């Protein structure tokens, strides 16, 4: 069989290099546009750009006849198990309100897992000390800001009120925040009157904007405007779903925990508020040890997740 001429060999090399250059340029563009998924089309791309008879002939070192060397396409390796996306478990946030007074039960609350958030009243004398202990234990801290209720009996002298000027309410808010150092957000203590008043809330939301903190609505009235007004001013906000211990009996608290789990599984996220009562803390200590299929998150995470669900837009976060 006659050998191909030098000119023909040079032509073959030139053609082969030209086809290889076209192939790799096209492949690079495909990966840039389609990402790793473009690798799945690699065998088809090679067949399209470089006819297999030509490659087979080059593999045999012959150009006068077609060799019978098969081309085997190697599939890309499967992603590692750790790289596979994991389904996120339903999220639950638990906030213990009215912290700052009785030492024994408050410290029992601080001993709960760190994902449980703790909300401190500004008035009690032990607030500053207990808030420091809670932060040191890794808990997310809220200021439990007193706000005007229907009866005002026993309400703090520094409560936010609808009959005060916006400047005075902001002064009282700042006082509460100074009493609870290291806060990540606030929620209302009482407040069935104040939280239903959009104009009064607007002054508070405007003061909160830019401080990087959230406003959890304890929802002490169905007429609450906290979430709507807070979000209008760019303040992260969401509402409480479950009160754990309006009825402070073991069976009632257990039932509320079951409702909390149900709500989380239905919607993906739910927020509960409880108090540092002995039976509440007993129930939470047991529940926190065993809650299959549920993840407990700080309330800031739950607010973000609820906001994403309600407005249909992913909110930037660092977690």
Are residues 120 and 155 located together in one domain of the fold? yes
Are residues 285 and 168 located together in one domain of the fold? yes
In a domain, 203, yes or no: yes
Are residues 160 and 113 located together in one domain of the fold? yes
What's residue 97's pLDDT?
Answer: 98
What's residue 13's pLDDT?
Answer: 54
What's residue 210's pLDDT?
Answer: 87
Are residues 108 and 54 located together in one domain of the fold? no
Tens of pLDDT along the chain (319 residues) come to: 445 555 545 545 544 555 455 555 554 444 444 444 444 444 444 444 444 443 344 444 444 443 333 433 334 444 444 444 446 899 999 999 999 999 999 999 999 999 999 999 999 999 999 999 999 999 999 999 999 999 877 789 999 999 999 999 999 999 999 999 999 999 999 999 999 999 999 999 999 998 999 999 999 999 999 999 999 999 999 999 999 999 999 999 999 999 999 999 999 999 999 999 999 999 999 999 999 999 999 999 999 999 999 988 777 664 5
In a domain, 268, yes or no: yes
Q: Is 22 helix (H, G, I), strand (E, B) or coil?
A: helix
Are residues 150 and 67 located together in one domain of the fold? no
What's residue 153's pLDDT?
Answer: 74
What's residue 20's pLDDT?
Answer: 57
Domain assignment of residue 198, given as a range: 91-311
What secondary structure letter does DSSP report for 69?
A: P
Distances (CA, A) of 283 to 188, 289, 300: 24, 10, 23
In a domain, 307, yes or no: yes
Q: Of 83, 116, 148, which marks where a domain is finished?
A: 83
Contact (Cβ atoms closer than 8 angstroms) between residue 146 and residue 190 = yes
Contact (Cβ atoms closer than 8 angstroms) between residue 176 and residue 146 = yes
Are residues 18 and 145 located together in one domain of the fold? no
Which residues, 6+ apart, have CB-to-CB distance to 119 below 8 Å?
95, 96, 97, 98, 99, 141, 142, 143, 144, 187
Are residues 301 and 279 located together in one domain of the fold? yes
Are residues 55 and 99 located together in one domain of the fold? no
Are residues 176 and 299 located together in one domain of the fold? yes
Are residues 67 and 215 located together in one domain of the fold? no
In a domain, 316, yes or no: no
Half-sphere exposure of 159 (CA within 13 A, CB side): 23
Q: Of 55, 83, 111, which marks where a domain is finished?
A: 83
Are residues 265 and 249 located together in one domain of the fold? yes
User: What is the tally of structural domains in the chain?
Assistant: 2
What's residue 5's pLDDT?
Answer: 53
What's residue 80's pLDDT?
Answer: 47
CA-only gyration radius of the chain, Å: 32
CATH number of the domain to which 199 belongs: 3.20.20.370
Tell if the pTM clears 0.85, that is, is over it: no
Are residues 120 and 35 located together in one domain of the fold? no
In a domain, 222, yes or no: yes
Q: Of 62, 83, 104, which marks where a domain is finished?
A: 83
């Amino acid at each position: 069989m006659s050998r191909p001429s030098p000119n023909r060999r040079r032509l073959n090399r030139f053609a082969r290099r030209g086809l290889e250059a076209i192939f790799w340029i096209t492949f690079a563009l495909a990966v840039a546009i389609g990402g790793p998924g473009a690798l799945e089309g690699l065998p088809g791309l090679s067949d399209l750009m470089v006819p297999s008879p030509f490659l087979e002939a080059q593999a045999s070192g012959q150009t006068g006849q077609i060799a019978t060397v098969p081309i085997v396409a190697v599939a890309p390796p499967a992603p590692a198990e750790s790289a596979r996306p994991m389904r996120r478990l339903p999220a639950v946030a638990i906030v213990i309100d009215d912290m700052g007074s009785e030492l024994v039960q408050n410290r029992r609350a601080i001993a709960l897992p760190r994902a449980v958030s703790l909300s401190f009243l500004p008035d009690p004398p032990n607030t500053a000390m207990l808030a420091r202990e809670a932060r040191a234990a890794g808990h997310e801290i809220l200021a439990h800001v007193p706000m005007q209720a229907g009866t005002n009996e026993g309400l703090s002298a520094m409560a936010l009120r609808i009959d005060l000027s916006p400047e005075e309410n902001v002064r009282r808010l700042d006082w509460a925040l100074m009493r609870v150092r290291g806060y990540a957000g606030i929620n209302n203590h009482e407040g069935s009157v104040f939280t239903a008043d959009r104009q009064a809330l607007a002054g508070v939301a405007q003061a909160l904007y830019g401080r990087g903190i959230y406003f959890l609505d304890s929802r002490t009235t169905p007429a609450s405007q906290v979430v709507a007004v807070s979000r209008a001013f760019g303040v992260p906000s969401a509402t409480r779903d479950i009160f754990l211990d309006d009825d402070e009996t073991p069976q009632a608290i257990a039932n509320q925990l079951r409702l909390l789990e149900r709500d989380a599984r239905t919607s993906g996220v739910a927020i509960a508020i409880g108090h540092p009562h002995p039976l509440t803390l007993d129930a939470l200590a047991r529940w926190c040890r065993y809650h299959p299929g549920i993840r407990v998150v700080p309330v800031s995470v739950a607010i973000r997740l609820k906001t994403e669900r309600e407005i249909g837009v992913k909110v930037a976060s660092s977690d």
